[in-house]
Amino acid sequence: MADDQKDKVEEDPPNGGDRLVKIELDEAVTPRRSAEAEHERAIAIYDILEENNFSLVGQAGPFHLYLRAEGRHIRFDICNTEDISLGQFFMAMGPLRRVMRDYFQVCETYFDAIRTKSPSQIQAIDMGRRALHNEGSELLQTRLQGKVETDFDTARRLFTLICVLQSK
């Protein structure tokens, strides 16, 4: 991907409905990340656009989602397919901090292990990484209740994108 290419992807939904058809991460103040973090971002965006369940309470989809890190919060801007704002809210990162900190540490260990450890050691680290990812996803779903409804897989990918926005 070219360095000057915007982090923006859009697809036409097969049947419309309550789903995301565009995701954009506002990374204006985010420092350059590792190749692994960039790879995770690209995979999460691709996977979420391929299959997701996302609805803004009280609104009909499909939706565009703009995520931005602002201090200790993540700003969610949700628009319709004409980019008319349907809602905006801020989610405090405090409740996710411990899980994210642990997740970042395990991910770093995992990426190092891929280069030097045996398959069984990598598998053990990966199991811990997945457990933390699942924990973060469940916590994210809880934090979004009353605003946004998602299935577990969509929450998992959104957790990945929030981690990417918070990574250094």
- Report which residue type is found at 26: D
CA–CA separation, 12 vs 15, rounded Å? 9
What confidence tens digit (pLDDT) does each residue in 29-69 have? 555 667 777 788 888 899 999 999 999 988 888 999 999 98
What confidence tens digit (pLDDT) does each residue in 63-87 have? 999 999 888 899 999 999 999 999 9
Lookup: tokens for 2: 């070219």
Helices (H) and strands (E) in the chain, counts: 4, 7
pLDDT for position 140:
94
Cis peptide before 31 (omega within 30 of 0): no
**Residue 135: in which H helix or E strand, if any?**
helix 119-144
Block residue for tokens 């070219």: 2
What confidence tens digit (pLDDT) does each residue in 107-164 have? 888 888 888 888 888 888 888 889 999 999 999 999 999 999 999 999 999 998 998 8
CA–CA separation, 158 vs 168, rounded Å? 18
Three-state DSSP class for residue 93: coil
